C-alpha cells in the first residue's frame, strides 16, 4: 500500500537518497526542511505539527547531531507531535557509539509511536559531499586521531536500510547498527582515495586543538567545534565503538559497500580532481 511519508533532512546526504528510493516505489514523499512548504525547522517547534499533517510514516534526521545540547527537547516535541497525529511509524537516524545521542533514542522509543532506531557509523560521503571534500581536492587532508579505525558506511546502503525498515513493521522496536565491511584509519582512507584518483593526496595527522583552531579560523560556529571535539575525543577514540556490524546484510540480504568501491565510483565523476598535485 502506498504511504504518505515525510523525510526530515530530505535534502541531505541520507535523506535525499531515501526520498529517491521511496518515490521510485510510488510513495507520496514530502521533504521536511527549512525551504519546504510547509516548512520544517528544528529550531522552531511550531513547524512540527503542520509538517506531520496527513503523514503516515516519517524518517527523522536531526541536524547537526543528536548529541548536541537542545536535541533532546526538539526530539521530544517532535515525538509528541508524531504521537498526537497518530503516525504509524518513525525511523530515527542516530550515531553509532554516541552515548549522548541515546537520550534522544530513548525519547523516541518511549513516545508511543512504532519506531526503528538506525545507528550509523561515519559516512563515506563525508569525503565526497561534505566537509572533507575540499581538503581532498586540495591534495592535503589534516585530521586528528591517526590511530582511529572507522568502519565507514555508504549512504546508499544506509538509505536502502532506512527505506526498507520504515515500511516493514517486522523491524519495529529494533536498534540497527549500520557500518561498512572494513575499518580504515584516515591514512588508509586517503591512500584509497589516492589510488582511485591516481593523484597523490597527503594525510597530515594534527592535534585536536590544531583541528579546532582551524575550524574556528574558518568561521565555523562553536556548536560544530564542540561536536567535532565530541566525535573525535569521545566516539572515535573508543575502539569498542568501531566494531563492524552485519546489520546491512541482515536487512538487505547483500554485502555492505566497501570504501574502495565507493572511491572508484566517486573518482570516475572527477569531483576529487584538482589541478595542483603531481601524479603518484
Ligand atoms: N555524517 C556522518 O558521518 C554521520 C554519521 C552518523 C550519523 N549522522 C547523522 O546524520 C545527520 C545529518 O544527516 P546528513 O549527513 O544526511 O545531513 P546533511 O547532508 O549534513 O544535510 C543536512 C540536512 O539537515 C537539514 N537541516 C539543517 N538545518 C536544519 C534545521 N534547522 N531544520 C530542519 N532541517 C535542517 C538540511 O535541510 P535544509 O537545508 O533543506 O533545511 C539538510 O537536509 C545528523 O543527525 C548526524 O548525527 C551523520
Reported as a single tens digit per residue, the pLDDT across 168-219 is: 999 999 999 999 999 999 999 999 999 999 999 999 999 999 999 999 999 9
Q: Name which of 100, 122, 275 is nearest 197 in CA terms.
A: 275
Residue 127 lies in a domain: no
Residue 20 has a pLDDT of: 98
Distance 113 CA to ligand 1 centre (A): 22
The total of structural domains in the chain comes to 1
Model confidence pLDDT, tens digit, residues 67-101: 999 999 999 999 999 999 999 999 999 999 999 89
Residue ranges with strand state E in the chain: 4-8, 28-32, 57-60, 89-95, 115-120, 140-143, 175-178, 202-205
Three cell numbers, residue 7: 523525510
SS (H, E, C) 190-244: HHHHHHHHCECCEEEECCHHHHHHHHHHCCCCHHHHHHHHHHHHHHHCCHHHHCC
| 187 in a structural domain | no
Residue 234 has pLDDT above 70, yes or no: yes
Stretch 228-255: mean pLDDT, rounded?
93
Which residue range(s) make up the domain with 14? 4-122+154-179+244-253
Which cell is 37 given? 512548504
48 vs 263: CA distance, rounded Å: 37
Binding pocket residue ranges, ligand 1, CB within 6 Å: 9, 11-15, 33-35, 40-43, 61-63, 65-66, 93, 95, 120, 122-123, 126
CATH number at residue 42: 3.40.50.720
Residue 213 lies in a domain: no
Q: What global pTM score does this model have?
A: 0.96
Question: How far from 22 is each of 87, 164, 247, CA to CA, in Å?
Answer: 17, 9, 21
**Alpha-carbon 271 to chain mean position:** 20
pLDDT in tens, 26-43: 999 999 999 999 999 999
Q: In what order do the strands lie in the sheet with 28-32?
A: 28-32, 4-8, 57-60, 89-95, 115-120, 175-178
Does 238 score more than 90 pLDDT?
A: no
What residues have CB less than 8 Å from 74, skipping those under 6 apart?
42, 43, 45, 62
Q: How far, in Å, from the CA of 63 to the mean position of ligand 1? A: 4
Residue 28 lies in a domain: yes
Given a contact cutoff of 8 angstroms between Cβ atoms, the answer to whether 90 and 108 are in contact is: yes
Q: Is residue 104 part of a domain?
A: yes
Task: pLDDT band for 273, please (50, 70, 90 cuts).
Answer: very high
Is 261 inside any structural domain?
no
Residue nearest ligand 1's atom 20 by CA: 12
* Separation of first and last alpha carbons in the chain: 53
Looking at residue 279, its pLDDT comes to: 52
CB contact at 8 A, 206 and 143: yes
> Phi/psi at 81 (nearest 5 deg)?
-65, -40
pLDDT of res. 275:
53
Residue 12 counted as domain residue: yes
Burial class (CB in 10 A: 0-12, 13-18, 19+), 209: exposed
Evaluate if residue 280 carries a pLDDT over 70.
Answer: no
Render pLDDT for 104-163 as a digit per residue (tens, 0 to 9). 999 999 999 999 999 999 999 999 999 899 999 999 999 999 999 999 999 999 999 999
Amino acid at each position: 500500500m502506498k504511504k504518505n511519508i515525510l523525510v526530515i533532512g530530505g535534502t541531505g546526504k541520507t535523506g535525499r537518497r531515501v526520498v529517491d528510493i521511496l518515490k521510485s516505489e510510488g510513495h507520496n514523499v514530502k521533504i521536511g526542511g527549512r525551504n519546504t512548504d510547509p516548512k520544517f525547522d528544528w529550531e522552531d517547534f511550531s513547524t512540527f505539527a503542520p509538517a506531520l499533517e496527513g503523514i503516515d510514516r516519517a524518517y527523522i534526521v536531526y541536524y547537526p547531531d543528536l548529541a548536541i545540547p537542545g536535541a533532546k527537547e526538539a526530539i521530544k516535541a517532535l515525538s509528541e507531535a508524531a504521537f498526537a497525529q497518530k503516525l504509524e511509524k518513525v525511523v530515527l537516524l542516530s550515531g553509532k557509539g554516541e552515548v549522548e545521542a541515546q537520550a534522544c533514542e530513548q525519547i523516541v522509543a518511549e513516545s508511543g509511536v512504532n519506531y526503528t532506531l538506525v545507528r550509523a557509523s561515519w559516512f563515506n560521503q563525508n569525503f565526497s559531499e561534505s566537509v572533507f571534500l575540499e581538503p581532498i581536492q586540495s591534495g592535503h587532508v589534516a585530521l586528528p586521531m591517526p590511530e582511529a579505525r572507522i568502519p565507514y558506511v555508504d549512504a546508499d546502503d544506509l538509505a536502502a536500510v532506512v527505506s526498507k525498515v520504515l515500511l516493514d513493521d517486522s523491524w519495529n522496536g529494533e536498534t540497527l547498527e549500520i557500518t561498512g565491511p572494513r575499518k580504515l584509519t584516515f591514512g588508509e582512507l586517503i591512500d584509497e582515495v589516492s589510488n582511485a584518483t591516481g593523484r597523490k593526496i597527503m594525510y597530515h595527522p594534527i592535534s585536536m586543538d590544531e583541528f579546532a583552531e582551524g575550524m574556528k579560523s574558518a568561521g565555523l560556529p562553536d556548536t560544530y567545534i564542540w561536536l567535532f571535539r565530541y566525535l573525535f575525543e569521545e566516539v572515535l577514540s573508543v575502539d569498542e565503538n568501531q566494531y563492524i556490524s552485519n546489520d546491512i546484510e541482515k536487512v538487505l540480504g547483500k554485502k555492505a559497500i566497501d570504501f574502495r568501491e565507493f572511491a572508484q565510483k566517486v573518482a570516475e565523476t572527477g569531483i576529487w580532481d584538482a589541478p595542483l598535485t603531481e601524479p603518484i
